[in-house]
Amino acid sequence: MSFLAAAELTFPGSRTEIEDSLASYLASLQKSGRIWGEAVWTWTAERALTVVCLVPLQDSLELRSSRGAEAADLERLESVLDGAVQWRLSGEASLARRTTLEWSRCAAFCLRTDLFDQTSPLVAGDSREPAPLYLLSLDENDQEECVFWMRAYQAHERIWLDSRDLESAAYFQLSHADSELSRRGQAICGRVERSTGVRTYYFLYRYYMVEPRLRDRCPVCKQLWVRPSAGELFEKYLVCDDCRLVSEEGVDASNLPEGAG
């Protein structure tokens, strides 16, 4: 669902200078959603290196018309290089929505991720297609908040899966609507919805089943979950439109860690 982008950079200055400029440039690209996951680079000569990353679309790295921080960081980087950054792309496009206009017509967004996700924390509610953040009507702060929340969520999931002393505390953050992690995510959803005009839901993870008397009700407003029919938005999930929550019943009813309920 992405392109592999690679660039070979040569420069006349010191390694420290190029590393600092490159790190700032790649961080800006990641926070704006122009690259997915972590970029990697390796030295190929004394004054040359190769950078490799994943990008959502063929034109994601075209910054000449951008006024964001990534454009300023690119200018700074190219000032210490022997020439302009030239990316080579391989792969093929698989995203159905490829423009700001197409994403503005999305029926709904959902903020969700998992430990192995390397794309975007905002996905289309109808197809779960990841949304490149720079194509949404979000300011740089909200783009950054989405990426930082994604990292925090993945860190909690990693701790939960490690199944040691912090297992219960980490699962609480993932699965409770009033946890700090969930409240942070729901606040992001509110800002995304206000900025884009697109309904934005928070995905509340459930692996362990809750007790039967609570299973059919939204944990925030206590109203019955809506169960969409086949072909409807968020089908196969539990939905609360009022609270902008999407969840699931869970799959394990027997091994809830102590303190995680």
Mean of all residue pLDDT scores within the chain: 91
| pLDDT tens readout for residues 62-88 | 876 576 788 889 999 999 888 889 999
Of 7-21, 158-172, 195-209, least confident by mean pLDDT is: 7-21
Mean pLDDT of 199-203: 98
Model confidence pLDDT, tens digit, residues 26-41: 999 999 999 999 999 9
Fold designation for 3-90? Alpha-Beta Plaits (3.30.70)
pTM of this structure: 0.91
The candidate with the shortest Cα–Cα distance to 127, out of 236, 227, 234, is: 234
Residue 107 amino acid letter: A
Domain boundaries, the chain: 3-90, 100-247
What pLDDT, on the 0 to 100 scale, is given for residue 119?
95
| Residue 251 to residue 138: CA distance in whole angstroms | 35
Residue written as token pair 């995905």: 203
pLDDT in tens, 166-199: 999 999 999 999 999 999 999 999 999 999 999 9
Let me know: does 146 contact 178? Beta carbons within 8 Å: no
Structure confidence by residue, pLDDT tens digits, 215-251: 889 999 999 999 998 888 998 899 999 999 999 988 7
